[in-house]
Chains A and B, each alone.
Chain A
Amino acid sequence: MNSHADGAANNPRNPFAHVEAAGWGQGLRTLTRITYMNLRHRWQVAIAIGSTFIAAALQLLIPKLLGQAVDQVRMGEGISGGTVEQALWTSALLLLAVSVLRGLFTLAQNYFAESVGHHFAYELRLACYDKIQRLSFSFHDQGHSADLITICMLDIEGVCWYFSTALVRAVLLAMLIGIGAYMLLSTNLELGVVALSFVPFVAWRSSRTQLKLRATWDELQGRLSVLGRVMEENLCGIRVVRAFAAQAYEMLKFERVSQNALALAQERADIYARDTSAMTFSFFFAMGLVLWIGGSKVIAGEISVGTLTTFLTFMTVLQMPVRQIGLMINAFARASTCGSRLFGFLDLDITIKDAPHARPLEISEGTVRFDNVSFAYPGAENRQILRNISFQARKGETVAIVGPPGSGKSTIAHLIPRFYDVTGGTITLDGQDIRNVTLSSLRRAVAVVQQDPFLFTTTVENNVAYGDPWANEPRIERASESAQLHNYILGLPAGYKTVVGERGVSLSGGQRQRLTIARAMMLRPSVIVFDDSTAAIDAATEQRIRSAMRRFAKDRVTIIIAHRLSSVMHADQILFVENGEIVERGTHEELLVKARRYEALHNLQTRPRDDDGAN
């Protein structure tokens, strides 16, 4: 792991890497798409942009008014009379009015610009949520969860600030700098040029800094997440660390990744410090020049003191927006990278979805049938996982599938609810090809009890009733009783209302598996598949679950995938799968007589050298 971090540290960093990576063309397309989506909030956009224009114009009026007032004060010197005083009153009231109005329009500009962003974020969130729920298992199998979290949290945020921090700000800056420059240059060309001389430098410098900081930010996050992982693994594996008395080694590991992150964090602090001080300096430098040259002009009588004041205040007005050019460029770059990742995700194809004319599944007998089914994972088509699998199970029957690890037994379970689509052959339920019925009806009809079930952080009863959130309490309790979980739940601090899961009471592997069995029963499925889902339950309890479920099983097809023979020997039909093919089939007794592989497995599981004899 250290090699990763070190490798990254040795790479020369290119601050524009992310921009180049996105490609200008694609980046532009992304920005257009974001802009277009923002424009749908027509009224808010109009108010925001309109207010921006007005606020910028008002802001530019202030230096003008101040300069005028100073000249009035100047003129008033030595002269007495009501005219000057009246003019001053007018200026003062105008200043106040303009300030108030500017404040109000800035409020409108900021609020509505943010509001557009928040509405946009809301829409994107829903879109992402929907997409996550629709994307097929083959997508989620690739272990994207960390990326998805980034996309759904950071990328949405990066994109939703685009309108206020990039688009509106661009309008504002263009107005301020454009009109400001025009006003200055038209007042006095020479002094105007001097006053504006800092603009290109600061604009360039701040853009460069921001892009550099942005690029190093990604890098820093990477290093910090390495640090986070080292700490987290240490804490999770603290028993291993203590068992090997490896604290010194762990501290060294921590120190190395920590220093690695620290070095970059410090470098960033330095980039920031260097550039801001340079920008401030160039601004003040231009101001000093204006003071000097403008002062000479006043002495020469070319301009008034008021004009000089206008110039100087103009510069203070322009200082902030010019610095913000960098932030704006950064916002564009951020929206472009975040946006391309986000749209890349939202535009993904969903492989498993309802066929155009899909109809709800209709169950009468509930017969499950595999006809010459073969399967390979998407993207690994030349590696056949299943070949020519054919079998049939009727209502009330139990089919068990056994075989060595990696033989493909679990895959069979995953094909029935269409977590994946077969690559050859057909699976039918009461004669209907599962690809021609709606996914929703299929998945309600087929319940898979998973090996490592996911518990939602909520009460036990909500977890049991996950597939049927309208269920009443007696039904939840009945299912829990059948799964041999009821007594355990009653012993919990708040009974059925106890919060379990990641942030609640943690359940043991066996308890989790029993909870999912109860969960599956709540669905009242036509087909129930146990995918190695009793491995962590002891044999005696499993036996009790089986007898409790006897009535339940009478009305449905049960498919059991297991490696413990005691779980499968009562099945009506046992399939022994090896390398994706069914190599032996029959009942327990039949197989013990005729089947070599099944017998070998049986011998493995009975006691070695046991003279009492197994069973």
Chain B
Amino acid sequence: MSQIPDPESERKGVRDGTRPPRAVVGSHRIEDEVFGRAFDKNIVRRIWAFVEPYRTKAVIAVVAVLICAGVQLLIPLIIRYAVEHAITPGSRDGSALLAAAGAFFLAILVNRVASYMQQSVIGKMVEVVLFDIRRAMFGHLQKVSLSFMDQTEVGRLMSRLQGDVSSIQEFLETSVLSVGDIALLFGIIFVMLWLDLSLGLLTLSVLPVLFIVRMFWLPSARNAFMAATETNSATNGALAEAIHGVRAVQSMDRQQVNFLLYDDKAHANLKTQLTAAKYAQVMVPIVDTLTGLAMAGIVLGGSKVLNDRIDVGVTIAFLFYIQRFFDPIRSLTLQYSVMQRAMASGKRLTEVLDLDIEIHDRPDAKALSPQMDGSIEFRNVTFGYDPKHPVLKNISLKVSPGETVALVGPTGSGKSSAIALVHRFYDVQRGQVLVGGYDVRDLTQESLGRQVAMVLQEPFLFTGTIFDNIRYHRTDVRRDRVIEAAKAVGAHDFIVSLAGGYDAPLGERGGNLSLGQRQLISFARALVADAKILVLDEATANIDSYTEMLIQKALTKLLEGRTGLVIAHRLATIRNADRIIVLQNGEVIETGNHDQLMAMGGLYFKLYNLNYASFDDLAEEQLDITAQRGGQT
């Protein structure tokens, strides 16, 4: 009896605590730059453009902030007045006390209104500005070229729309408040010097000390904080991986190894967190010591009273100021890193906002009427994502109204690009694409989209009900039309069998439906859109034979009475087409129906005779080559 092939030596490592050479958990994430320059004029200007519409509110907020700072300054002065004029032995005066108390209450009433105004106006305004920024970015992304969207990870864009917008929030909120901090700081300095020059200078002498200490502290503290954030997100990343990959982990029995590796990460995180805590806390005794020094100085300075220079009131006022003294400095140094973060985020936001929009409606663009004939024509079209490497080379083809044309050809032959051009996802480099007899560039994109329905290879469903998904943007369509469409494509039966029927909520991206079912729903969606022209990229993934039959029938139904341009993968679809166009390397090499093409004995004949149920079964090698090319660029 042999042990299962799981040599003891391999497992021993785990027990020793050594880590296997090829094991990692929670791979390294490539993070964006966290801190930028502290101040970037251009970025501030861009952000300001979003604040500009609300500038009255901004002004009100700043005024309110200044009033609050003023009241903070005034209170010790009122106390001093009371001490000096009302309750010192020499001048005990009830009415002066009353006046002081009256002034005090008046000041705090003003403060109450101002502080409410300040916080409420800032808070609300900042929220609106954020949503405006987000809307501008989101709206812009609706228009930028598809090739950009294809090359960009959605996660990256989402972190612009969420994370980066949030750091702008922090920045906006704190920048108004720091106006108050600066005012308060200078106010306190000014008042102290005014009350008593030498005592003021004595007290202020601790300030440079604090600045110098913070100057040395800040760089290493920031590194410590960044390290803490980094290890924390690395640990969380590993945890997320464990959650999402749990099946793979369990089925390959990697739990022990992974636990050890995770422990390494979590422990490293513990260490950086503790270091960061040390850095954060070390400032406490320093600030306290300086406060103590200043207070001692004032108490001693108070002995100048002996020489009859100042009085108790001033001493008390100073003591009050000292307790407020360090707050603005503390928050201002924090503000520095907030600004750096905001500049880095702002840079990324403006990058999104500045993305080129390549496809515009012409100023005199016409709306494509639903009464157009439904023809498609390519006239000498040359097109490439990179103009130096055209994907379509001088192509001419015509699809007559009501005709179904199948596009076939190996991967990379330009089929997908051709149908993308009908919809004007991209503009041609040379030649013309005509829909209903009009150059697509002369039409509004909106009206073109209404008349050209498109079904993509990968069905995409949105969170929501099945009804929402079939109806999609045609909010004017009634429920019975939706049901009718579902029946027509053969989706009705499985829909009503779901709990909730048409109102059944779909899991994330329709995860609770099979690929075939999602495909049928996307067919129904195209049917509801009721366009004259249907452009379709047949699904390549292997759907089980039962669902495939349904889809084949639905397809026939969908193409009834419409002009169809279909990228066909299945022989059944190809054979049902009125005409077949064979593309290779961006050129039309054969045209005709099945029999004609078979008689020609060209590429189609060769492909067909390889005897597979689908043309895709041929393409894997070529697919590998194109994928590699894509991976390198």
Contact = CB atoms under 8 A, between A and B. Distances in A.
Binding site of A, secondary structure by majority: helix, strand, loop or mixed? Answer: helix
B366 interface: no
A537 to B, nearest CB: 7
A553 interface: no
A487 B624 CA distance: 9
Nearest to A243: B454
Interface in A549-608: 563-564, 601, 604-608
Contact of B303 (A66, A85, A272, A292): A85
Interface stretch (A74-82, A176-184, A379-387): A74-82
Interface string B86-126: 11100011100110110011001101110110111011101
A448 B251 contact: yes
A237 interface: yes
Given A1-B463, A88-B299, A466-B254, 12 more contacts: A132-B239, A153-B236, A229-B463, A231-B138, A237-B462, A242-B449, A247-B142, A258-B134, A305-B316, A443-B251, A470-B20, A503-B29
A458 interface: yes
A305 B30 contact: no
B284 A285 contact: no
Interface stretch (A31-39, A99-107, A200-208, A367-375): A99-107
B616 interface: yes
A501 B244 CA distance: 12
Contacts of B464: 1-2
Given A228-B158, A444-B253, A254 B135 contact: yes
B22 A491 contact: no
A11 interface: no
A587 B24 CA distance: 44
Interface string A292-303: 100110110000
A295 B97 contact: yes
B120 A470 contact: no
Contacts of A97: 292
A98 B246 contact: no
A515 B368 CA distance: 48
A129 B266 CA distance: 10
B42 to A, nearest CB: 26
Given A251-B139, A258-B131, A608 B285 contact: no
Given A145-B243, A316-B323, A511 B627 contact: yes
Interface string B598-621: 000000000000011100111111
A540 B4 contact: no
A244 B23 contact: no
9 nearest A-B pairs in the assembled complex, by CB-CB distance: A245-B449, A99-B292, A269-B123, A103-B288, A103-B285, A469-B20, A273-B119, A243-B454, A467-B252
Interface in B227-277: 235-236, 239-259, 262-263, 266-267, 269-270, 273-274, 277
A97 B296 CA distance: 10
Interface in B1-37: 1-6, 10, 13, 20-24, 27, 29-30
Given A251-B142, A305-B87, A493 B631 contact: yes
Nearest to B12: A470
Given A243-B454, A250-B142, A281-B108, A458 B27 contact: yes
Nearest to A108: B281
A509 interface: yes
Q: How big is chain A's contact interface, by range?
A: 35 or more
A96 interface: yes
Nearest to B93: A299
B427 to A, nearest CB: 14
A247 B262 CA distance: 44
B124 A269 contact: yes
Given A99-B291, A245-B446, A240 B20 contact: no
Q: Indicate the member of B111, B239, B446, B468 with the most A CB atoms within 10 Å.
A: B239
Interface stretch (A165-173, A390-398, A519-527): A519-527
A351 interface: no
Nearest to B547: A405
A583 B395 CA distance: 54
B158 A361 contact: no
A88 B146 contact: no
B162 to A, nearest CB: 6
B421 interface: no
Interface stretch (B330-338, B341-349, B537-545): B537-545
Q: Indicate the member of A76, A247, A404, A440 with the most B CB atoms within 10 Å.
A: A247
B104 A232 contact: no
Contacts of B143: 247
A457 interface: yes
Given A363-B2, A454-B248, A469 B30 contact: no
Contact of B296 (A92, A247, A501, A524): A92
Contacts of A111: 277-278, 281
B445 A100 contact: no
A104 B161 CA distance: 43
A465 B161 contact: no
Given A106-B285, A269-B120, A277-B115, A77 B305 contact: yes
30 contacts: A73-B312, A84-B306, A88-B299, A95-B295, A107-B285, A114-B277, A125-B266, A133-B259, A145-B244, A238-B141, A244-B453, A246-B449, A251-B138, A266-B123, A269-B127, A288-B101, A292-B101, A296-B97, A312-B316, A363-B3, A417-B251, A419-B250, A453-B248, A456-B245, A457-B241, A462-B24, A491-B628, A536-B542, A540-B612, A606-B613
Nearest to B270: A122
Contact of A69 (B126, B302, B621, B632): B302
Nearest to B514: A405
Interface string B498-526: 00000000010100001000000010010
A543 to B, nearest CB: 10
A501 B525 CA distance: 32
A450 B247 contact: yes
B282 A107 contact: yes
Contacts of A316: 320, 323
A70 interface: yes
A364 interface: yes
B438 interface: no
B288 A102 contact: yes
A118 B232 CA distance: 11
A509 to B, nearest CB: 7
Given A240-B456, A488-B624, A405 B468 contact: no
B302 A73 contact: yes
A244 B454 contact: yes
Given A273-B123, A536-B541, A292 B284 contact: no
B286 interface: yes
B284 A106 contact: yes
Nearest to B237: A457
A115 interface: yes
A240 B306 CA distance: 85
B315 interface: yes
A280 B247 contact: no
Nearest to B10: A470
Interface string B446-460: 101110011110001
A70 B266 contact: no
A564 B460 contact: no
Nearest to A270: B120
A102 B94 CA distance: 39
A95 B296 contact: yes
Contact of A281 (B29, B112, B258, B278): B112
A347 interface: no
Interface string A340-353: 00000000000000
Contact of B127 (A88, A262, A364): A262
B475 interface: yes
Nearest to A152: B239
A110 B281 contact: yes
B542 A563 contact: yes
A388 interface: no
Contact of B257 (A137, A469, A493, A540): A469
A252 B7 CA distance: 61
